């Protein structure tokens, strides 16, 4: 029986790559994403490649929408083998910005992940894996990214908390913190563009390049596999060495 991978924010960027990689490994794919155009485009790609995919165009800030999706999955007897909380929004929140902007970021990036686990738990069985896509912004910052940093830091903390709570149910919970990942060519076709990276951008990384969505997808494949059966509550940093490289002006 085919396994199922549910990915939030699975229509574009890192999430789209994750969805395609799991599909190639025989998983049925369930995408939750607010952008229906992008959902349909990624679904079509997966179907044309021989996979199976459904999507729900919902806003994961909406608790009732999540409950509705889980009810539909229950009616179809769908078991979620891998749940990937990837949906997120990047907005600066200077201290003079309205609190509504803070709420949008926190509720999408952190609260949404909590709601997915809360209402999806009945669809998860022993051996299932939850992966939260956090960020190196949990531990490093630029000015005015307060809500984003707080949400990603909270997601890392939520990960180890859930790992303890759900371990008794045989469910592993881990986080991945990507660094600089170029998603410009992983947008829906109407928004797709190429970005020219400078040499100094590449050399900020110990490996000499920025990340690709496929780098994160590969880590998700590993963390959800039996090879990672002794890993839970961990935060895997995937940043090409950017956060450990000291850079001095010359």
Strand-pairing partners, residue 174, are 131
Handedness of CA 5, 13, 216, 151 (dihedral sign): negative
Three-class secondary structure of residue 188 per DSSP? coil
Give the H or E element holding residue 56. Answer: strand 52-56
Residues 6+ positions from 38 with CB-CB distance below 8 Å: 11, 12, 16, 187, 188
Contact assessment for residue 5 and residue 27, using Cβ atoms and an 8 Å cutoff: yes
**Strands lying side by side in the sheet with 28-32:** 52-56, 28-32, 4-8, 80-85, 124-133, 172-178, 235-238
Q: How far is CA 249 from the centre of its chain?
A: 34
Using CA atoms, how far residue 229 sits from 6, 128, 181, in Å, is 19, 10, 27
CA angle 119, 84, 212 (to 5 degrees): 160
H helix and E strand count, the chain: 8, 7
Annotated catalytic residues are: 148
């Amino acid at each position: 029986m085919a396994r199922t991978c549910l990915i939030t924010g699975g229509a574009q960027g890192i999430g789209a790559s994750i969805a395609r990689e799991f599909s190639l490994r025989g998983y049925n794919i369930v995408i939750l994403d607010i952008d229906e155009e992008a959902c349909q485009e990624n679904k079509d790609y997966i179907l044309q490649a021989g996979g199976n995919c459904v999507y729900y165009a919902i806003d994961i800030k909406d608790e009732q929408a999540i409950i509705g999706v889980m009810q539909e999955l229950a009616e179809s007897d769908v078991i979620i083998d891998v749940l990937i909380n990837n949906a997120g929004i990047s907005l600066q929140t200077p201290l003079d910005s309205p609190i509504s902007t803070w709420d949008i970021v926190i509720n999408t990036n952190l609260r949404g992940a909590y709601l997915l686990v809360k209402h999806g738990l009945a669809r998860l069985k022993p051996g299932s894996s939850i992966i939260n896509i956090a960020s190196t912004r949990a531990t490093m910052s630029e000015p005015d990214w307060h809500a984003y940093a707080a949400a990603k830091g909270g997601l890392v903390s939520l990960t180890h908390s859930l790992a303890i709570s759900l371990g008794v149910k045989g469910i592993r919970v881990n986080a991945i913190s990507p660094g600089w990942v170029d998603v410009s060519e992983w947008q829906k076709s109407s928004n797709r563009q190429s970005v020219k990276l400078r040499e100094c951008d590449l050399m900020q990384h110990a490996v000499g390049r920025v990340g690709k969505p496929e780098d994160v997808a590969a880590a998700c494949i590993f963390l959800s596999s039996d090879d990672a059966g002794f890993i839970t509550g961990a935060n895997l940093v995937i940043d090409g060495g950017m956060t450990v490289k000291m850079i001095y002006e010359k």
